[in-house]
Chains A and B, each alone.
Chain A
Amino acid sequence: MDIFLQLVASGFLVGGIYALIALGFVLIYKATNIINFATGEFMMIGAYIFYSLTVYLNLSPLLSFPLVVAGAALLGAIVERLILRHMLGRPNISIVMVTIGLSSILLGVAEMIWGSSFRSFPPLFPRKPIIIGEIVLRSNLFYGFILAMAVVAIFLIIFKYARVGVAMRATANDQTAAFSMGINVKSIFTLSWAFGAIAASLGGIIIGNVGGVQPTLGHIGLKIFPIVILGGLDSILGAVLGGLLVGILENLAGGYLDPYFHGGVKDLAPFVVLIIILMIKPYGLFGTRELERL
């Protein structure tokens, strides 16, 4: 039972961080209907920029955070403006492939700049593990989780109350109607990419702080897919819920099944669940059924 609780608790924390990364995906999907396969690479780039700022330039983490946010926003906006803008109205496969191509470019560039070796972050948080009852939690994970949840909350508040957020929701709801209400849909697209990149790169910093950073960090981005299938492609709260569920699920699967398969189950389990869900509910657990008319 102790092991169970321990696995659930640490899975919950990891899941919170996944939720932030998934948010970076959902923000873009919601506004622009684009499946962003490069979310993981945005994450990795964010982590590397943070690493460079704190280690090479010796800036304090508090100063580095806003700089990474600015950098990520710029990257997201540039990518949207230069590449994705041309892809409006193209078939799904083209758009998916463009983001895959983008992820390949970002991966290659990161490897050229920072090399392929593994780097660990300087400590950001107090080292002392958090102990609740009999559960021991790694301090990096615990504070990372809190940070991730704070960022998610900020995004939720922006969406709920800020003018920009309302405009983004309106665009997601109905582009034509939003446009006729005077919302600049194009700049909303750019903004969504900027927001998506910010969320992903902040997630990257937190993940990088837990487990170090290397160019393949972006592979964690694949976990977004089980998360969004669980939580619904276009729901922000769904992303949070899905993130937490996937975190717990993979930790449990890893903890109990890995010994029998010589590892690897942890990363696979969410995808098996994903397939099962899709077989039963083709639009995901909370996804809205798309109505099609000729």
Chain B
Amino acid sequence: MRIGDFKATYATDQAIFDSPTSKFWMGVFFVLLAIFPFVAGDYLLFMANLTGITIIGAVGLNILTGFAGQISLGHAAFIGVGGYAAAILATRFNLPFMVCLPLSGLIAAGFGIIVGGPSLRLKGLYLCIATLSAQLILEFVFVHWESVTGGIRGINLAPPEIFGIILDNDFKFYFLTLPLVILCVTAARNLFRTRVGRAFIAIRDRDISAELMGISLVRYKTYAFALSSFMAGISGCLWVNFLKTVTPEHFPLLESVRYLAMIIVGGLGSILGSIFGALFMVIVPEAIKSVLGLLVDIFPTAMSFLFPLQQVIFGLLIVTFLVFEPHGLAEIWRRIKNYFRLWPFEH
């Protein structure tokens, strides 16, 4: 509950955490995040790392699609580029992880600009088709450029090492994922308080008006592609180092669709939404798996329905959210928060 919350200066009005209440709850949240690895089991830690890595990817896609309004069906391929870059840099060039991480982000950003470049003239559906092709072409390269990517067998790599500590289990990796997630989320949240971020939103809302107002479409669309792919690259690098292997199967078209589904379910054009979406899309398949696991005693063949059932529920989620709650989980969260804002008073 927050009461007596008045703003006297612009600085307080623009603050991200604009009231003592929200500062308090964020503090509690961070403390919980810090305690989490000490109480959670292996499975939960694994899921937490996975979620964190996914969040970075989802935030990246939301910058491009949710904020700048450019549909991308190739996000998984950019994550793949980051992943392969990380694996190749680490195994061929023996670079330390702390160098690989930003480099794989930059390499992915470079690819983003290459793919985004021709797409600058394309809009809406044509862009959608162009990024789809980029996804398929990159997938082909991952599989068939065997001398570099190792073909379908992929590349195995050693666990990453930071400041002399080898991150060889989920517990240690958590302390790499968490700061990076916080960094990326904060950076993205702040981006939309700057000129660049505002320009993205203007382009999304009406590109022609944006151009008339002096926003260079070419420049800002390129920024959007580069930033989004940079985050994808970071996410890919973490993902590969987490699994200690990279194969083309990790980055299919379906994965791109999954990322799009995440930001839609979470909320397009909302950083918080990307986090919710990523959490949701990691948890739901696991929940389906465990429910089916319980049913095995009654229906011995239940597990064979796992994949199709996940497909159906995945599709249903996308459709239901788009039809009934197009602003996603972030909007539901906002409504819940507003309800409790003045709770227990009604007005």
Contacts and interface: CB of A to CB of B under 8 A. Distances in A.
Contacts of B126: 229, 278, 282-284
B323 A86 contact: yes
Nearest to A219: B253
Interface string A260-271: 011010011001
Nearest to A107: B311
A48 interface: no
A90 interface: yes
Nearest to A111: B308
Interface in B289-319: 305, 307-319
Contact of B268 (A93, A103, A229): A93
Given A105-B319, A275-B118, A112 B208 contact: no
A94 interface: yes
A98 interface: yes
B338 interface: no
Interface residues of A, number: 46
A271 B137 contact: yes
A294 to B, nearest CB: 6
Interface in A90-113: 90, 92-94, 96-98, 100-112
Given A98-B318, A279-B118, A108 B308 contact: yes
B326 A104 contact: no
A276 to B, nearest CB: 9
B196 interface: no
B261 interface: yes
Interface in B255-271: 257, 260-261, 264, 268
Contacts of B212: 294
B315 A275 contact: no
B134 A104 contact: no
Interface centre among B309, B310, B312 (most CB of A within 10 A): B312
B312 A222 contact: no
Interface string B115-153: 000100111111011101110110010011000000000
A86 B308 CA distance: 26
B71 A294 contact: no
Interface string B312-336: 1111111100110010000000000
Contact of B260 (A86, A92, A100, A284): A100
A190 B201 CA distance: 35
Interface in B193-242: 206, 208-209, 212
A35 B130 contact: no
B130 A275 contact: yes
Nearest to A115: B304
Interface of A: 35, 83, 86-87, 90, 92-94, 96-98, 100-112, 116, 222, 225-226, 229, 233, 261-262, 264, 267-268, 271-272, 274-275, 278-279, 282-284, 292, 294
Given A105-B316, A106-B315, 18 more contacts: A83-B319, A92-B128, A93-B128, A93-B264, A93-B268, A98-B322, A100-B315, A101-B314, A105-B311, A105-B319, A109-B308, A109-B312, A116-B307, A261-B144, A262-B144, A271-B136, A294-B209, A294-B212
* 6 pairs of A and B residues whose beta carbons are closest in the complex: A108-B311, A101-B318, A104-B315, A108-B312, A105-B315, A111-B308
Interface of B: 65, 69, 71, 118, 121-126, 128-130, 132-134, 136-137, 140, 143-144, 206, 208-209, 212, 257, 260-261, 264, 268, 305, 307-319, 322-323, 326
8 contacts: A102-B315, A105-B311, A107-B308, A108-B312, A116-B308, A222-B132, A271-B132, A271-B136
